Structure 1
Amino acid sequence: MMNSDLNLSTKDLQILNSKKGLEALLRLKRFDIRKGVKNVKYEKRLEKLQEEMLKLQQWVSTNNKKIVILFEGRDAAGKGGAIRRIIQHLPPRAIKVVALPKPNETEIGQWYFQRYINQLPNNGEIVFFDRSWYNRAVVEPVNGFCSKLEYDVFMGQVNEFEKMIQDSGIILLKLYFSITKKEQERRFKDIVQSPTKKWKYSAVDRKALLLWDDYTSFKELMFTHTQKSAPWKIIKANKKTTARIRALEYILKQIPYEVKDLERIKHHTFKSILEGRN
């Protein structure tokens, strides 16, 4: 196929002829030049933002700052994958990823927020929550894991709890990864059919599609009532690469680290790549 048929630019051809371009093509299950170019552009964009993320982390460490970033969203929305890309080049001792299991008997008897308080950052540390205290806002009431009273108490306390966190000097960001029902179903099928991923498919996941509308109702209530102290950033996550880039951009824009490269963080230069218009 000729270059004119593919409508590739000179820059695209240079990308394909590079080491990264050839590696990207070899990694594809099906030979697709356009996708190969897009993947290389994504990886280059990701690397630039990861470099900025390292600058942010060094600022946090040098100035004894404390940051908490919450990642929420439906099952299979890509929260964990986004966190892995964000922290890929950060010093392990300077960060913590928290993905708490269901509470044990002792924790059930504690104040709901207590086990999350124990995970908050020390000076110079960034904590990423792969699901957080917002389990009680959506997952628990939908699946009958908490009573209506426990839900109501949580909703009455969460804004003040987050205000207390921020008043103590912690920077708090809240990201919600949003996917469609069709995309969640597709991802569940991929997980179940994968020998290395099927262990992720839980009893809660098995009911997620059937309870889709219930999740939506509680999600909307969460957005309505929990914006007071820390606003939500909704990340459209049907395309995982897009979601990862947008999440990184948002974090870098919101945290006032120095010295920030605003031109590098701008996302408009990457818009056509993210939307697949190569």
Structure 2
Amino acid sequence: MRYALGVEYDGSGFQGWQGLGPSGPATVQAALEHALSSVADQAITVTCAGRTDAGVHAECQVVHFDSTADRDPRAWTLGVSGRLPPTVCAHWCVPVAQAFNARFSARARRYRYRILNRPVRPALYRHTTTWERRPLDADAMHRAAQALLGENDFSAFRTVHCQSPHARRNLQEIVVRRTGDAVEVEIQANAFLHHMVRNIVGSLLEIGAGARAEGWMAQLLAGRDRTLAGPTAPPQGLVFLRPLYPSEWGLPESVTLRG
């Protein structure tokens, strides 16, 4: 039987998502596979919708796994959560068709980047928020970001370590909004390059602080040169909100495409 599992985690204490073997550093994948294997009483491996870097969090990461163990979805959800560290939990478990793949069946991924914009650093939420002391113009950031919409070559916003064979991605939505001292960037695309969101945010911060003009984002996109763009924003402000799938897979509404 194949199952899809929705997982939430605080990435602060992990060296990213991907497992690196039993003697490697602590990763979310390793913790999850250990918990699943314990519930199933057999070795379990998982495939995720999108790998996250060290220090990056997830509101709903989706994975799939196969098992011959006779467990109902509630037993998987509660049993796995009870065996995970306090910073990781399973939200739900759904049996899915064998053709379902958490990575390749997803049609979009959505992230949020949160910035505390005030002169004083945070005490609370410092692991899930980036601090920027320079006053930011969120409206200017939003206007500049709209130049990235559509299918484009995002070479200017990929790390040199990115292993993707090409840099073309379809950026479907990007919104920058301010609520009090918090500035949030929410972004959705069919898929993302390594560090793509953090590199986009790093450049938007330069525009928001007045160091660059709004038209700079369009210039960076057209130039395709990572060395000319802004710095990579810190990981702790980034949350992988969810992947999105066609309704045919029968997943919870929170991860299902509308329409």
Shared fold by TM > 0.5?
no
Tell me which of the two structures has the higher relative contact order, counting C-alpha pairs closer than 8 angstroms and 6 or more residues apart: 1
Which one has the bigger helix percentage? Answer: 1
TM-score for both structures, normalised by structure 2: 0.25
TM-score for both structures, normalised by structure 1: 0.24
Q: Which has the larger radius of gyration?
A: 1
